[in-house]
Structure 1
Amino acid sequence: MKQDTSVELSRSLGLWSALALVIGTVIGSGIFFKQASVLQLTGSTSLALLAWLLGGLITLADGLTLSEIGAQIPHTGGLYQYMNHIYGKFWGFMSGWMQVIVYAPAIVGSIAGYLGLLMVNFFGISSAWKAPIAILAITLIATLNMLQNRYGAMFAIVTTICKLIPIVAIVVFGLFFGHQSGIGETLGSVHQSMGNFGVAVLATIFAYDGWILITNLGGEIKNPERLLPLAIILGISVIILLYLGVTYGIFRSMSAQRIDQLGENATAYFATNAFGVWGGRLINIGIMISILGALNGKIMSFPRIYYAMAHEHQLPFSQWLGRLHRQTQTPVNATLALLGLSAAMILTVDTDRLSELCIFVMYSFYIAAFVGVFILRRRHSGGPKLFRTPGYPVVPLFAILGTGFVVVSELFSDFTGALTSMLVIALGIPLYAYLKRYYRGKENNEVL
């Protein structure tokens, strides 16, 4: 495939594409399986709904805060670029290093592995096919995203519409045909405490995660100063409504005790009971399509970090990773790099555990980005009036406190994992120093 370093990314993504990517990247399988775990942690349907709402409000505060930064720094690479512009190249590199080496391939591998598991169960075939199916899925989606970005965006729109069908079916059935109260039911066997409630909120925050990846495509969104904040805010708002709707629909359709007994199988049981065997199968197909949509959003957005870092000479093989395909104007080489790392992880490591290890560091960088709103306000006090976070400074402070809750929780619940993630990111320090010397020497030689 011919490549040309003078080619630029195509700024062709409109609001609907960006909105579909936000919704499609966030909503995977969690919306169908987490109702029971949140209910078990809180002990009542009312507190479970409150946990989903609070997790959503924290996420919305995050989105409102980061939208202000995204409007001012509408470049390809998202969080990496924000850290780069606010705190300097070293911290930009550190935030990007963790993402490209561990977080991105681990997340892609984890989701693809779960898709493989669902498919072998759905078709009743040997579990030995789980890894091959996972690798085939990411290969097909990566190939699609090597074409013009409009194809990945179109796939996001189609899969988002498809995943809304089972979601709407659950909500409508629960509202109009459910016989439970939906709120006020309790689980007598569960000891309720604010500690449990906090863990439940934490679980919902993880279910809302992924919206930030749309910022990686800042260089390909039309009028990003306006459309990027709009897509983030509308997308998160829609996701909150959908999560609350599905949860309430299931609570209206089954008793709290029954949901507790069924656990992760509650939604599947509900679908079969409400819509028959074929209805249940269609719900399962909808879940798999939902996961494909989430995979597409991640495989479309993550390579933009590789590409952005390569342009700053902050990765090995930067010249290769920083190229765009001449015809499609997409980072084909960066996509291949993500595909290769993800496939290798699927075959060799526990991608679920690896992605969990990154949470502490990734959310720490989120906090740094949110603090950046205050820094940019002082730095650009006389600049153009782009999108401003409503409720400033309360909303950014709420975002910082909410995300800080995640970081502290991870530190106490998985100290070894937090320490491991810090050690992984520390490994990037000598690489940063080496690359800085290498490219500086190369530039000096070219001048000479």
Structure 2
Amino acid sequence: METKLEKRYGLITAIAMVIGIVIGSGVFFKAEKVLNATGGSLTLGILAWIIGGIIMISCAYTFAVMATKYQYVNGVVDYAQATLGKKYAYYVGWFMALIYYPTLTSVLAWVSARYTCVLFGFPITGGECMTIACLYLIASFALNALSPVLAGKFQVSTTVIKLIPLILMAIIGTIAGVGNGMIKYNFTTVVKQVNPSTGLFTAVVATAFAYEGWIIATSINAELKDAKRNLPIALVGGTFITMAIYILYYIGLSGAVANKVMMAGGESGAKLAFQTIFSSLGGSLLFVFVIISCLGTLNGLMLGCTRGIYSLAARGLGPKPNIFKQVDSITNMPTNSSIFGLLLCGIWLLYFYGANLTKPWFGFFSF
């Protein structure tokens, strides 16, 4: 008898996936790019975050409507098949399995390693960083492949932990900024003149990556209890919470340092803001929270990556579907699909290193 994936995840895990995957390292340091795009206009910057958030919520709502009607193996592939047919779903499944999941997962492994190296003083382009990135990849794979329930709990835990510095900065930074006049100064001062329309559009684009990743939560719809109810709630509720946190955190930062200081450098500006509000220890702890935040995002991405080729195999599609659709009777995970996902992550991590972190290996094909 063929083993099927169990219904093991609840609403809290689904919401944690949406929030935890979207909120990575970008939110801590995106203020600089948004402010530079708007010429230091805090009003335009907040508007950009609102517009980007509304776009994300609108897209999530569209998928939420689909989630109330269709449920099979992998949300995105399910919806593609329901709307445009099996052939289109086949191509979408391959894109998700070969490119979308593993590229994001491998890059997040490197980003997690990068901030680990910054914390401990290692070079971010050397062998130490790549070794740590590989270890993070393997550890994330092991957690998801061997204990998916524990991976779900880890996702919830890291999501809660990563929200702590954001909420603290949003509250205390805003209170401090109102008290010392920094927020009023930042709202009424423009660092440089830019075309408002062009600046706003560029800023919205800058927020796009910070709002990306929520769609991966649909990869667990086959394992989500009462998926037709819980997944739509998680998609809409999770994206709305994310937008609210981003905007409040952005305002909190403006209460800590001047916009021109934040524009001078993302990492140094955010670190200075935390040092201003929470002392020098806060600046150091920031990177600890960033690492935890990145690892939470990595876990969520790996959760989707391990199920990538399985979403095709479960439909009898792709290479050797009988092999890749096998679900381990002990772990209740598609082990062969998981291993395939890990190998793809390793290949993309190697490509990322050869194309971006050293003298390009791939010539014209280095992106």
Question: Using the alignment, how far apart are the partners of 1:185 and 1:322 within structure 2?
Answer: 59
User: Which of 9, 14, 18 is equivalent to 1:18?
Assistant: 14
Asked if 1:67 is matched to 2:64, the reply is yes
Matches within 5 A, 1:120-159: 120-126=117-123, 127-159=126-158
| Residue 352 (structure 1) shift | 8.9
Residue of structure 2 equivalent to 1:116: 113
Residue of structure 2 equivalent to 1:79: 76
Question: Using the alignment, how far apart are the partners of 1:217 and 1:302 within structure 2?
Answer: 11
Aligned partner letter, 1:103: Y
Residue of structure 1 equivalent to 2:262: 259
Aligned partner letter, 2:136: A
What do the CA deviations read for 1:220-277 (whole angstroms, capped 9, x no partner)? 1111111111111110111011100110000121111111123342111111232223
TM-score, length basis structure 1: 0.75
Aligned partner letter, 2:272: Y
Question: Does the CA-based 8 Å contact 1:213-1:302 persist in structure 2?
Answer: no
Question: Does the CA-based 8 Å contact 2:94-2:309 persist in structure 1?
Answer: no
Aligned partner letter, 1:91: Y
What do the CA deviations read for 1:159-207 (whole angstroms, capped 9, x no partner)? 0111011112211221221231255244333423312211211221221
Question: Using the alignment, how far apart are the partners of 1:86 and 1:186 within structure 2?
Answer: 49
Question: Does the CA-based 8 Å contact 1:40-1:187 persist in structure 2?
Answer: no
Question: Does the CA-based 8 Å contact 1:144-1:152 persist in structure 2?
Answer: yes
Distance 1:282 1:18, change over 3 A: same
Question: Does the CA-based 8 Å contact 1:306-1:334 persist in structure 2?
Answer: yes
Matches within 5 A, 1:32-431: 32-43=28-39, 44-126=41-123, 127-178=126-177, 179=180, 180-181=182-183, 184-349=187-352
Question: Using the alignment, how far apart are the partners of 1:263 and 1:219 within structure 2?
Answer: 39
Residue of structure 1 equivalent to 2:361: none
User: Which secondary structure state, in structure 2, belongs to the residue aligned with residue 105 of structure 1?
Assistant: helix
Aligned partner letter, 1:135: C
| Residue 351 (structure 1) shift | 8.9
Question: Using the alignment, how far apart are the partners of 1:119 and 1:20 within structure 2?
Answer: 23
Question: Does the CA-based 8 Å contact 1:106-1:352 persist in structure 2?
Answer: no
Aligned partner letter, 2:59: D
Question: Using the alignment, how far apart are the partners of 1:131 and 1:186 within structure 2?
Answer: 42
Aligned partner letter, 1:194: S
TM-score, length basis structure 2: 0.91
The range that moved more, 66-75 or 189-198, is 189-198
Question: Using the alignment, how far apart are the partners of 1:168 and 1:107 within structure 2?
Answer: 26
User: Which secondary structure state, in structure 1, belongs to the residue aligned with residue 309 of structure 2?
Assistant: helix
User: Which of 7, 12, 25 is equivalent to 2:3?
Assistant: 7
Aligned length: 353
Question: Using the alignment, how far apart are the partners of 2:58 and 2:355 within structure 1?
Answer: 27
Distance 1:352 1:232, change over 3 A: farther
Structure 2 stretches lacking a partner, 5+ long: 357-363
User: Which secondary structure state, in structure 2, belongs to the residue aligned with residue 325 of structure 1?
Assistant: coil
Structure showing greater Rg: 1
Distance 1:198 1:98, change over 3 A: same
User: Which secondary structure state, in structure 1, belongs to the residue aligned with residue 94 of structure 2?
Assistant: helix
Distance 1:78 1:302, change over 3 A: farther
Question: Using the alignment, how far apart are the partners of 2:187 and 2:354 within structure 1?
Answer: 38
Question: Does the CA-based 8 Å contact 1:11-1:222 persist in structure 2?
Answer: yes
| Residue 50 (structure 1) shift | 0.5
Question: Using the alignment, how far apart are the partners of 1:352 and 1:49 within structure 2?
Answer: 35
Structure 1 stretches lacking a partner, 5+ long: 354-415, 422-448
Distance 1:102 1:49, change over 3 A: same
Aligned partner letter, 2:232: P
User: Which secondary structure state, in structure 2, belongs to the residue aligned with residue 324 of structure 1?
Assistant: coil
| Residue 323 (structure 1) shift | 1.1
Aligned partner letter, 1:34: K
Question: Does the CA-based 8 Å contact 1:310-1:322 persist in structure 2?
Answer: yes
Distance 1:186 1:90, change over 3 A: farther
What do the CA deviations read for 1:376-432 (whole angstroms, capped 9, x no partner)? xxxxxxxxxxxxxxxxxxxxxxxxxxxxxxxxxxxxxxxx99xx99xxxxxxxxxxx
Show structure 1 runs of 4+ deviating over 6 A: none
User: Which secondary structure state, in structure 1, belongs to the residue aligned with residue 68 of structure 2?
Assistant: helix
| Residue 278 (structure 1) shift | 2.0
Question: Using the alignment, how far apart are the partners of 2:354 and 2:301 within structure 1?
Answer: 15
What do the CA deviations read for 1:343-394 (whole angstroms, capped 9, x no partner)? 12212335998xxxxxxxxxxxxxxxxxxxxxxxxxxxxxxxxxxxxxxxxx
User: Which secondary structure state, in structure 2, belongs to the residue aligned with residue 113 of structure 1?
Assistant: helix
Aligned partner letter, 2:207: T
